[in-house]
Amino acid sequence: MAFFSDFEFSGGGILAKETGAHIRWSRSFARDALRIASFIGLVQGLRAARVVKGREPRARICFFPRKPHSYYAIWPVCQLADVKIVERPEEADLHFYFEDREFRTGPLRAPSNRPAFNIGCYDIRKSVVSRVFEEVFGYSLTIDPKTHRGPAVEKSELNGKHDGRIIECPVEQPRSDRVYQRLVDNTFDGKEFVDIRTPVVGGKAPFVYLKRRARGLRFSNENHRVDLAPVDAMLSKAEQERIAEFARAMALDFGGLDVLRDREDGRIYVVDANKTDMGPPSALSGEDKLTAMRGLADAFAGLVDERLKA
């Protein structure tokens, strides 16, 4: 199966070949895999029911250079938005640049001159995200490890590594393959670390996920709890406008942002941008998974209609 060809056994777990992300074997991993499979089955059933009723797709979309598997967020979104995924570019009304890769020297050309999503989003390295963030928000996440004094975060340039660690600065010889950022206290109570995962569709966030982690796992991707929250409850209108501007600057039509709110200064910091978002988070309940994907699907359907009319 194509799904399993994306992974290989490695070091007591599985390794995603494209991203390099390593997932450890555990009871919680088996539970999460079962939850994801159950949700995919539910979405397939909903889509099949619509087809049986004779519901026509609102549009046909072709992904390039590869098609997303069902564990990527865009797959259930397309099913629920009545956007049919097709193999042949000439059959498509729209194109979608989809590649689990942080960096290209330039954008790939779309298969035709039809509307395309994420076409200019070809460099999402953390240093680029930090630079664009500073340009849009007017304050910085990046620090100079040679002159900064006190704690800071050192992390890989690449997505999916979850290898952030706290270091003490100054550092005499910073690593060229790492980025150095201010240490954000993203706790509400000083104990539980909360990432405000912000899906964006056409610059707008239909909702946010609150990803909650214990102190020892603050830089990992292991959430002990995930909640859906209204975007207006977590981000001000001004912050939402800045996020929309940031997404436009990154050419990110559809994806997800990791947003942290600093307990000390109250400001938000965009620390990561993902153009091939997986989801929904396995820790969500089945009902919340469907609510989230329907919210994204409604937003994506509106964006598709908008692009086709342009």
Alpha helices in 191-250 (DSSP H): 231-234, 237-249
pTM: 0.86
Alpha helix (H) residue ranges in the chain = 2-5, 27-52, 74-80, 126-137, 231-234, 237-249, 286-309
Return the domain boundaries, the chain. 2-123+292-309, 126-274
126-274 placed in CATH 3.40.50.300: no
Residue 108 structure tokens? 């790939």
pLDDT digit of tens for each residue in the chain (310 aa)? Answer: 444 455 565 555 655 555 555 556 555 555 556 666 677 776 777 767 776 666 789 999 999 999 999 889 999 999 999 999 999 999 999 999 999 999 999 999 999 999 999 999 999 999 999 999 999 999 999 999 999 999 999 999 887 677 889 999 999 999 999 999 999 999 988 789 999 999 999 999 999 999 998 887 887 877 889 999 999 999 999 999 999 999 999 999 999 999 999 999 999 999 999 999 987 888 888 889 999 999 999 999 999 999 999 7
